[in-house]
Chains A and B, each alone.
Chain A
Amino acid sequence: MFNKKSISIICLSLFSLLIVQCKKKSHDEDLNSGDSFDKEAMLANYADNIIFPAYTNFKYAVDSLDKTTDNFVKDPTPINLQALQVFFVKAYIRYQSVSTFELGPADGELFRSSANIFPCDTTKINSKISIGNFDLSTVSDIDAKGFPALDFLLFNSKQNSTIILSRFTTAGNAENAKKYLSTVVAELKHKSDVIYNGWSATGGNYIATFKNNLGSSVGSSLGLMINQFNLNFENLKNARVGIPLGKKSLGIIYPNKVEAFYSGQSFAMALEQIKSIEDVYLGRGANGIDGLGFEDYLIALKTEHPSGQLSDVIKAKISAIKQELLKFQGGVFSEMITQDPAQFENLYQQIFQLTVLIKVDMPSAFGVMITYEDNDGD
């Protein structure tokens, strides 16, 4: 009873396959999803030209910060403080271009949450200094260390370096303050060394692991890159801009919650952050050469968006954010927010729109799941 049916079904299947084959020929031009895009080369470009150089630069910057800290602790003079402040800002700026790469060695060190949780808890820092508690290893210490803690210790009085200096010289617990400062810097240096060595071909060689971890599943290099790219960008949207602007607090502004509040370097940090985001998106290396990146992958996939090719739409949006940000060049974010938060509205809207593009459209085009944990689908 089934034989006739089965045979006809098999014939039908074969016939349909033929149709498909014909379809292919007639539609080839307009439906082709792109020439083979070399994802392996993209990962290699990310590893060799973007991520590893960024960590190398970061390591050097932290090494210098460490040396100047040593000098300052041994000899807390105004000149040494000034040097320390300069190298602190340099290292903090360098941090902005590694903050995306919380994968592999950095993920192992939980680097983002130990290096840059802001605002820092000044009460906690002061009390730790006064009682001489230099343990920074527990979860509750994340807002008492890293760059935000240094920002507070080295810049807590805007104009007056004498006041800053007095904490380390004349204050009753000056020795504790110096030790606390050294401990915070030492932890940063330790972690930056571990991460650098983890990536290095002569160390943990994660650079090879990264390049060989192909595919688009949750734990693949591409999956990790996309997810971290988004997580990091959401920090720009929320922590760096949204929260100070009162976006999450029914419009009540928190100017003191900006990044690098005490040093007043929020603008430099944000600009470096968006430049880094642009570099990652374009695949542009530290040497300025534009290699394979997310943009090229999107171009190859020919992904459409209601307002044009997705690759162009994202590029234009990043560029718009940069332009908008440059309007605030030379300004101090916290002061400008206090004066007129509305002037940041357009910047925030542009960032908001990019969030949707990189969190919804881009991963969907790549067939990458936005999730930080493995799970089944159907």
Chain B
Amino acid sequence: MTVTNTIKKILSYTEQTVSIAPLSMFRILFGAMMLASILRFAWKGWIYKLYIKPVFYFSYYGFEWVKPLGDPGMYIIFAVMGIAALFVMLGLFYRFSAIVFFLTFTYVELIDKTNYLNHYYFVSIISFLLILLPAGNYFSMDVLRRPSKRTTHIPRLFILVLQLQLGLVYFYAGVAKLNPDWLFEAMPLRIWLPAHTDLPIIGPMMDKVWIAYFFSWFGAIYDLTIPFLLLGKKTRGFAYFCVVVFHVMTFLLFQIGMFPFIMIICTLIFFPEPFHQRMIASIQKVTGRFKRTSSTAIDKMYIFDPLVRKGLMTIILVHFTLQLLIPFRYVLYPGKLFWTEQGFRFSWRVMLMEKAGKAFFYVRDPATGRSGETMMDNDLTVNQEKMMGTQPDMILQYAHYLKKKYQAQGIANPEIRVECYVTLNGSGSRLFIDKTVDLAKQEDSFKNKNWILPFEK
């Protein structure tokens, strides 16, 4: 049977012995990036603005129990997260630190979906995978403490897991770009690029339509092919050049924070051992220490307990099956995905649409027949209001919040309706939600939200 042969081939490929150096370097660079991201986050005052100041938080469906810890709780969480990132970088109490980082980071992400970013989701996933990998067994403080932990070689599986995850992110981001708006209308880049005509050198070209098409197609092709180009020995150099150019461009053009740099760093995992050994050597030159933790004089293979191996393989298999399926859950919902956003998150749909909206909420007291706009100015941050304006599940959550608020003010059965206008990829604002539907009576679920109006061109 060719299928079993293929599986055998793949399995034996995953078992090939390779150097641990790429994994070790990945740990160091990822930890450093995370530490930098957390410091930047704190320095910008976002801990307070996003997780302490708001009075209302848009929790994820099924995670309503995740609440922020206030002041000083949130500061402590970020401090712990930062220390964990530092420890991951140093390889100190590695596995424990990786677990702490994953938990604190994911906890913070789950507090408010206003702040959902694909790149935060990416960080959560990578930090989860890092818990499973022996990235602290080489060139680390742990090895300094306990030299017996030192490992020089690992099964290829441990590198492949990260390569596959990265490849998947790129490839799915590319698949998501294969839609008519992106390819044939150059949307939303045609809206976004002309805003950058003031950039040096490339600026004057930014409002040319062909540039928007060029960027759209280049972006799609880049995302779809880059994982393969990075794997190929001959194409790797060119591919990495593309990675740097692509992400630096996105950094210059869009407000996407640390993400471009995280990707530039993470894709180094595609490079083979000698490259990483050179990096390690140059770090050693600077620090002048840790020689013992990294020398390749005595090889030591990672010992894979069969039981652990089985468990690990199961987790990895389940993880990637989910990763492959989740982005396609949107097919279960009717309507235009970008409009309804049902099944939009957690799918590597990055920078895909220009969407803006504004929701006006109305309350009606059926007992008196009186109605009016609600006061919402003080209950949401500007950012929350903006994000809610285009996302039906958030609108519903806020409607339920308003319902409770009016009940507390003595209106027993307040009816909450919303008049929301949204523009998608330059379509012009139009009604987004059925304004006759009483949202106080609608329940959130994974079912189709039939009160979202269809998008008509």
Residue of A nearest to B185 (CB): A31
A312 to chain B, nearest CB (A): 12
Q: Report which of A16, A238, A250, A307 forms a contact with B371, defined as CB distance below 8 A.
A: A250
Q: Please, which residue of chain B has its CB at the minimum distance from the CB of A214?
A: B198
Residues of B within 8 A of A378 (CB): 117-119, 256, 259, 350-351
B17 on interface, CB distance cutoff 8 Å = no
Residues 340-381 (chain B) with a chain A CB within 8 angstroms:
350-351, 354-358, 360, 363, 365, 368, 370-375, 377, 381
Please determine whether A24 and B209 come into contact, CB atoms closer than 8 angstroms: yes
A326 within 8 A of B: no
| B214, A31: Cβ atoms closer than 8 Å | no
Asked if A375 and B46 make an inter-chain contact with CB atoms under 8 angstroms apart, the answer reads: yes
Q: Which of A13, A31, A376 contacts B259 (CB 8 A)?
A: A376
Neighbouring B residues of A365 by C-beta, 8 Å = 191, 426
- The answer to whether residues A216 and B356 also contact, given A20-B217, A250-B365 and a CB cut-off of 8 A, is no
What's the minimum C-beta distance from B434 to chain A, rounded to whole angstroms? Answer: 17
Take A360-B422, A378-B118, A378-B351 as given contacts and tell me if A20 and B375 are in contact as well, using a CB distance cutoff of 8 Å: no
User: Is A32 part of the binding interface, using a Cβ–Cβ cutoff of 8 Å?
Assistant: yes
Which among A37, A242, A249, A370 has the highest number of chain B CB atoms within 10 Å? A370
B233 touches A367 (CB 8 A): no
- Judging by beta carbons under 8 Å apart, are A377 and B255 in contact? yes
Question: Is B209's CB under 8 angstroms from A28's CB?
Answer: yes
* Contact, CB under 8 Å: A306 / B428: yes
B210-A20 in contact (CB<8A): yes
Residues B187-211 near A (CB distance < 8 A): 190-192, 194-198, 204, 207, 209-210
Task: Report Cα–Cα, A370/B194, bound state, in Å.
Answer: 18
B152-203 residues at the A interface, CB under 8 angstroms? 186, 190-192, 194-198
A5 located at the interface, meaning its Cβ lies under 8 Å from any Cβ of chain B in the complex: yes
- Does A369 interact with chain B (Cβ within 8 Å)? yes
| A residues in contact with B232, CB < 8 Å | 2-3, 5-6
With most chain A CB atoms within 10 A of its CB, the pick from B44, B221, B356 is B356
Known contacts A9-B229, A372-B382; is-contact A39 B421 (Cβ 8 Å): no
| Chain B residues positioned under 8 Å from A40 (CB to CB) | 198
A305-B426 Cα distance, complex, nearest whole Å:
8
Verify B255–A17 contact, CB threshold 8 A: no
Query: Dominant SS at the B interface?
Result: mixed
Which chain B residues (380-396) contact chain A, with CB distance < 8 Å? 381-383, 386, 389
Residue of B194, B228, B350, B354 near A2 (CB, 8 A) is B228
Is B234 at the interface (CB under 8 A from chain A)?
yes
In the complex, the answer to whether B382 meets A370 with C-beta atoms within 8 Å is: yes
Is B370 touching A6 in the complex (CB atoms < 8 A)? no
Q: Is A359 an interface residue (CB 8 A)?
A: yes
B197 / chain A contacts, CB cutoff of 8 Å: 36-37, 39
Contact B44 A374 (CB under 8 A): yes
Most chain B CB within 10 A, of A252, A364, A370, A377, is at: A364
Name B242's closest neighbour in chain A (CB-CB).
A13
Q: Are A33 and B209 in contact (CB under 8 A)?
A: yes
Q: Which residues of A contact B235 (CB under 8 A)?
A: 2-3, 6, 10
Q: Which of A17-69 contact B (CB under 8 A)?
A: 17, 19-21, 23-24, 27-28, 31-34, 36-37, 39-40
In the complex, are the beta carbons of A6 and B372 less than 8 A apart?
A: no
Which residues from chain B contact A12 at a C-beta distance below 8 Å? 221
- Contact status A364-B354, CB under 8 Å: yes
- Report yes or no: B256 in contact with A377, Cβ–Cβ below 8 A: yes
* Size of the chain A interface, CB-CB below 8 angstroms: 69
B195 engages A251 (CB within 8 Å): no
Kindly report which residue of chain B lies nearest to residue A231, judged by CB atoms: B382
CB <8 Å contact, B209 and A364: no
Instruction: Among A12, A37, A251, find the residue whose CB has the most chain B CB atoms closer than 10 A.
Output: A251
- Closest chain B residue, CB of each to CB of A301: B194
Q: Verify if A133 is at the interface (C-beta below 8 Å from B).
A: no
B233 pairs with A2, CB closer than 8 A: yes
Can you name the residue of chain A whose Cβ is closest to the Cβ of B190? A33
Tell which of A3, A307, A352, A373 touches B234, judged by Cβ atoms closer than 8 Å: A3
Answer yes or no: A248 CB below 8 A from chain B CBs: yes
Cα A40 to Cα B203 with chains together (Å): 13
Q: How far is the CA of A20 from the CA of B117 in the complex (A)?
A: 30
Which B19-72 residues have a C-beta within 8 angstroms of A? 44, 46, 49-50
When A246-B372, A373-B49 are in contact, do A20 and B213 touch as well, CB less than 8 Å?
yes
Contact A251 B213, beta carbon cutoff 8 Å: no
Measured between C-beta atoms, what is the minimum distance from A215 to chain B in Å?
A: 6
Q: A368: CB under 8 A from chain B?
A: yes
* A367 engages B225 (CB within 8 Å): no
Note all chain B residues with C-beta closer than 8 A to A24.
209-210, 213
B448 near A: Cβ within 8 Å? no
Q: Within the complex, what minimum Cβ distance (angstroms) separates A377 from chain B? A: 5
Q: Which residues of A contact B374 (CB under 8 A)?
A: 248
CB of A357 within 8 A of CB of B429, answer yes
Complex-state Cα separation, A9 to B238, whole angstroms: 13
B275 at the interface (CB under 8 A from A): no
A122 CB within 8 Å of chain B: no
B351 contacts A356, C-beta separation under 8 Å: no
Q: How far is the CA of A39 from the CA of B118 in the complex (A)?
A: 32
A9 pairs with B228, CB closer than 8 A: yes
List the A residue with the shortest CB-CB distance to B255. A377
Which B residues are in CB contact (< 8 Å) with A16? 217, 221
Cα A34 to Cα B426 in complex, Å, equals 15
A360 touches B429 (CB 8 A): yes
At the interface, yes or no: A169 with Cβ under 8 Å from chain B? no
Residues of A within 8 A of B383 (CB): 371, 373, 375
Q: How far is the CB of B237 from the nearest CB of chain A, in Å?
A: 11
Contact B351 A361 (CB under 8 A): no
- Asked whether A249 lies within 8 Å of B372 as measured between CB atoms, the reply is yes
What residue in chain B is nearest A359 (Cβ atoms)? B358
Among candidates B191, B213, B255, B365, residue contacting A364 with C-beta atoms closer than 8 Å: B191
The answer to whether B218 has its CB under 8 Å from any CB of chain A is yes
B207–A37 CB distance below 8 A = yes
Determine whether A184 belongs to the interface, using a CB cutoff of 8 Å to chain B. Answer: no
Min CB–CB distance B23 → chain A (angstroms): 22
Chain A residues near B256 (CB-CB < 8 A)? 376-378
Asked if A304 is at the interface of the complex by the 8 Å CB criterion, the answer is: yes
User: With the chains together, A40 CA to B198 CA distance in Å?
Assistant: 8
CA distance A218 to B254 in the complex (A): 11
- Complex interface: chain A residues within 8 A of B377 (CB): 238
A371 and B382 form a contact (CB under 8 A): yes
Pick from A248, A250, A355, A368: contact of B370, CB below 8 A.
A250
What chain B residues lie within 8 Å of A23 (beta carbons)?
210, 213
Q: Does B80 contact A (CB under 8 A)?
A: no
Partner of A17, one of B217, B254, B356, B368: B217
Q: Is A344 an interface residue (CB 8 A)?
A: no
Chain A residues, Cβ within 8 Å of B244:
none
Contact A250 B217 (CB under 8 A): no
10 A-B pairs with least C-beta separation: A2-B232, A367-B195, A376-B257, A24-B210, A305-B428, A214-B198, A216-B195, A364-B356, A6-B235, A250-B370
Q: List 5 A-B contacts (CB under 8 A).
A: A3-B235, A33-B212, A251-B371, A373-B49, A374-B255
Name B's A-contacting residues (CB within 8 A).
44, 46, 49-50, 115, 117-119, 186, 190-192, 194-198, 204, 207, 209-210, 212-214, 217-218, 221, 225, 228-229, 231-235, 254-259, 350-351, 354-358, 360, 363, 365, 368, 370-375, 377, 381-383, 386, 389, 421-423, 426-430
